[in-house]
């Protein structure tokens, strides 16, 4: 049996294209976008919207190609899927360019991923097809609340069914919604997006009563109340959203409206993260690789050579640091590849997904910090991007499940404990 570590041709082609985008459309404006928080680089957004269609993006609005019902390749059905492997490579490259700008790439993001994972065929057709429209379109996931971060059982947003109108009436507050403004507010440059809101239809049932609802842009009773001013990923909007008696069509619930005293439905919805956490991990690797490559380039410009293959005791302190940074980046990337390979082959990957997220969140903070440390004043100077990457890095360890929560997931998977048994 042969084990190959080279990327398939479609992956290499996509990386080449996005390398060009990163070099020519992201890096040149990276500092400007950081200095002007929430400014929208429309040139990049519009180009990527067109490029995604040219690459044959799926209706979920991702950068990954569709698995191709219309493919003219008769052998395609016999080959293993590489959709998640391709997407991980694409996101790693875009994050290498600028992780904040990657986050405003048109598409469905977590909102579309939730519809894809828990929606009916009719819901997928209705909500995901809009990402193939002419205008850039966005979707967002609304889960976190002021009192409910990693502990989703503390969510207080409530959805009550109005039997007379057959509508869900939703009331609550959501915070830290990535792309919440672009997904919900009416921007004439964008298509009509949506948000996916987590709420309880039966608080007494605990997590078994949790459901997610698709709420279309412009729905009365829903309002973006705040845009966060952040340390990093400043070009990406992070919103607070209030819901005050928002009326949502009955058919917009994702999953069954019937509550059974089991967490099966909740676990099914949470499975969305098993597919997306390795992709977030990939973006962390992209930022870490950017910092590592910049350090090596700046050291080379100063005449510093990294002597690979020598015994550790013969290496300088800087050489040891750089080699250790390389080990961290490459090991994190291998963990991402394992998790996405499992997703492509429809194997349960909750353990590997969380492990890749933990590893990436850990190494990107260490690598970017060490990069600033090695270069001293140059690493701290705003003339260069190293200090920006240092600020951008930490979000990898926070969103889509903090490092602490993902460590708990890993421990539960290895030890066989439930969430209630190991908290």
Catalytic residues: 400
3-class DSSP assignment, residue 17 = helix
Nearest to 325 by CA among 269, 277, 270, 367: 367
3-class DSSP assignment, residue 224 = strand
3-class DSSP assignment, residue 139 = strand
Contact 368, 284 (CB under 8 A): no
d(CA 133, CA 267) in angstroms, rounded, equals: 32
Contact 152, 405 (CB under 8 A): no
d(CA 234, CA 100) in angstroms, rounded, equals: 6
Query: How many Cβ atoms sit within 10 Å of the Cβ of residue 185?
Result: 16
Contact 225, 240 (CB under 8 A): yes
d(CA 383, CA 391) in angstroms, rounded, equals: 15
Nearest to 109 by CA among 89, 87, 92: 87
3-class DSSP assignment, residue 196 = strand
Which residue shows structure tokens 């997928």?
124
d(CA 117, CA 112) in angstroms, rounded, equals: 9
Q: What is the DSSP string of 241-264?
A: EEEEEEEEEGGGEES-SS--SSSH
What Å distances lie between residue 164 and 169, 258, 312, 325, CA to CA?
Answer: 12, 18, 74, 61
For the chain, report the end-to-end CA distance as a whole number of angstroms: 41
Which residue shows structure tokens 């590489």?
82
């Amino acid at each position: 049996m042969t084990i190959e570590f080279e990327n398939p041709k479609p992956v290499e082609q996509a990386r080449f294209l996005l390398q060009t985008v990163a070099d020519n459309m992201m890096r040149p404006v990276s500092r400007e976008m950081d200095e002007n928080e929430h400014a929208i680089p429309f040139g990049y957004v519009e180009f990527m919207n067109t490029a995604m269609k040219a690459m044959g993006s799926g209706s979920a609005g991702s950068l990954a190609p569709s698995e191709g019902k219309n493919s003219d390749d008769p052998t395609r059905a016999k080959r293993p899927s590489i959709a998640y492997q391709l997407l991980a490579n694409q996101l790693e490259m875009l994050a290498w360019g600028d992780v904040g700008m990657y986050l405003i790439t048109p598409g469905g993001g977590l909102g579309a991923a939730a519809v894809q994972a828990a929606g009916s065929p009719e819901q997928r057709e209705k909500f995901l097809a809009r990402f193939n429209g002419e205008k850039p379109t966005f979707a967002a996931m609304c889960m976190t609340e002021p009192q409910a971060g990693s502990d989703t059982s503390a969510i207080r947003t409530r959805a009550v069914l109005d039997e007379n109108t057959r509508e869900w009436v939703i009331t609550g507050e959501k915070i830290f919604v990535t792309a919440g403004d672009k997904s919900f507010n009416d921007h004439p440059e964008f298509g009509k997006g949506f948000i996916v809101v987590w709420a309880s239809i039966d608080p007494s049932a605990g997590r078994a009563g949790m459901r997610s609802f698709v709420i279309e842009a412009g729905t009365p009773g829903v309002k973006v109340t705040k845009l966060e001013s952040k340390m990093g990923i400043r070009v990406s909007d992070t919103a607070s959203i209030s819901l005050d008696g928002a009326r949502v069509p009955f058919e917009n619930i994702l999953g069954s409206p019937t509550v059974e005293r089991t967490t099966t439905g909740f676990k099914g919805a949470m499975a969305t993260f098993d597919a997306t956490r390795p992709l977030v991990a990939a973006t962390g690797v992209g930022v870490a690789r950017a910092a590592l490559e910049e350090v090596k380039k700046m050291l080379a410009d100063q005449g510093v050579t990294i002597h690979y293959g020598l015994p550790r005791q013969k290496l300088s302190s800087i050489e040891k640091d750089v080699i250790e940074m390389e080990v961290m980046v490459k090991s994190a990337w291998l963990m991402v590849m394992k998790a996405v390979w499992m997703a492509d082959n429809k194997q349960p990957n909750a353990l590997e997904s969380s492990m890749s997220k933990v590893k990436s969140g850990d190494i990107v903070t260490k690598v970017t910090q060490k990069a600033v440390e090695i270069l001293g004043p140059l690493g701290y100077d705003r003339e260069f991007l190293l200090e920006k990457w240092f600020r951008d890095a930490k979000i990898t360890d926070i969103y889509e499940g903090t490092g602490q929560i993902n460590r708990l997931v890993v421990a539960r998977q290895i030890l066989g404990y439930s969430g209630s048994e190991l908290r």
